[in-house]
Amino acid sequence: MKVLITGANGQLGRELVEYLSGNNEVLGFGREELDITSLESVFEIVKNESPEVIVHCAAFTAVDDAEQYPDSAYLVNAVGARNVAMAAEQQGSKLIYISTDYVFNGQATNPYCEYDNTDPQGIYGKSKRAGEVNVQTQCRKHFIVRTSWAYGKYGNNFVKTMIRLSKEKENLKVVADQIGSPTCIEDLCEFLSELMKTEKYGIYHASNTGVCSWYEFAHAIFEEIAADISLQPCATSDFPRPAKRPAYSVMEHRMIRINGFKEFRHWRDALSAFLSQNIEEGER
Ligand SMILES: NC(=O)c1ccc[n+]([C@@H]2O[C@H](COP(=O)([O-])OP(=O)(O)OC[C@H]3O[C@@H](n4cnc5c(N)ncnc54)[C@H](OP(=O)(O)O)[C@@H]3O)[C@@H](O)[C@H]2O)c1
């Protein structure tokens, strides 16, 4: 299959290019080669390459910066998604738009289903939701894949930050009142590679199964790497940030289940496998 990936130098884009390359013709475009905010560039490249599938990973992902630069966040996340969706529609390509748990308000007490009402609280979530709407209205052959708490080999993420801090600090506080599901990017890539072969369009929630707080996630990382650090739980209010974080962002995988896709493994199993495959013995 010929697959075009936007945001190919980002955390997900880079690993997805690598993951799919064995069995597909993969065209990865970073920001320098394809700025998704330019309608003309997006149309030109999608027309020239004529991919069967576009995986749209490019995004303005700096959640706190988005509060300060809302125009930039909407330009990339809403207008950029519109551009990619229009080009996909014109070329007849399938489109996978990667979205986020931040489209929900985080006030639920049960996992969010794919078709629950969205209610994003900050600019990042609002602009990503606007991107979803543009994808839904501009491209018929679309999938929207919402993920959460992603970590992988490339870029910065919570797992890598915890490993680094375990070497630099003796004590650490991590918030225990935000609950969600971590997602190992390799598992997300496996799901995306299966999804793109189908015509089972619509919204999907895609994270590892099981639930934890950031504190519990950090605790598991330190346990896996046998880190010599004292970890304490704290409250979100102890570390005020410009953007509000969802207190509860667990997502139910109803569409994975009823469309017959393989369920994700438990987050703890995925973490353990990720650390043993990607973190050198000496780095632990
Ligand atoms: N990471 C998570 O925990 C998480 C959770 C839920 C959903 N998601 C979603 O997953 C997707 C991938 O996220 P990620 O973790 O891979 O983020 P990332 O590492 O920040 O990658 C995003 C990429 O998009 C690029 N980009 C920004 N503006 C662009 C533009 N105008 N044109 C082309 N490329 C542009 C960035 O380039 P620069 O580096 O040059 O800015 C970056 O390489 C995003 O849609 C995000 O919203 C991520």
Architecture of the domain spanning 2-156+181-209+249-265:
3-Layer(aba) Sandwich (3.40)
Domain boundaries, the chain: 2-156+181-209+249-265
Residue 18 has pLDDT above 60, yes or no: yes
Residues with CB under 6 A from ligand 1: 6-7, 9-13, 31, 34-37, 57-61, 76, 80, 98, 100, 128, 147-150, 155
Asked if the model's pLDDT at residue 282 lies above 60, the reply is no
The residue whose CA is least distant from atom 1 of ligand 1 is 150
SS3 assignment, position 93? coil
Q: What is the pLDDT of residues 215-256, one digit of tens each?
A: 999 999 999 999 989 999 999 999 888 998 999 999 999 999
Residue 122: the pLDDT is: 96
The per-residue b/e assignment along 74-97, b for 16 or more CB within 10 angstroms, e otherwise, is bebbbbbbbbbbbbbbebebbbbb
221 contacts 187 by C-beta, under 8 angstroms: no
Residue whose CA is closest, atom 26 of ligand 1?
58
Residue 185, classed as helix, strand or coil, is helix
Nearest to 124 by CA among 138, 106, 108, 136: 106
- Ligand 1: residue of 35, 41, 61, 149 to mutate (most ligand atoms within 8 A of CB) is 61
User: What average pLDDT does this structure show over 184-191?
Assistant: 98
At residue 239, the pLDDT reads 87
Annotation marks residue 124 as catalytic:
yes
Looking from the CA of residue 32, the nearest atom of ligand 1 is 33
Q: What is residue 138's predicted lDDT score, i.e. its pLDDT?
A: 98
pLDDT at 281 over 70: no
179-180 vs 212-213, strand pairing mode: antiparallel
Rounded to the nearest whole angstrom, what is the distance from the C-alpha of residue 171 to the centroid of ligand 1?
31
Active-site position among 19, 97, 124, 248: 124
Place of tokens 């703890």: 268
Residue 131 Cα to ligand 1 middle (Å): 13
Phi/psi region, residue 202 (left: phi>0; alpha: psi -120 to 50; beta: rest), is left
Atom of ligand 1 nearest to the CA of 13: 16
Q: Average pLDDT of 134-139? A: 98
| 248 SS3 class | strand
Distance CA 68, CA 75 (A): 14
Question: What does the pLDDT look like over 31-76, one tens digit per residue?
Answer: 999 999 999 999 999 999 999 999 999 999 999 999 999 999 999 9
Using the 8-state DSSP alphabet, how is residue 150 labeled? E
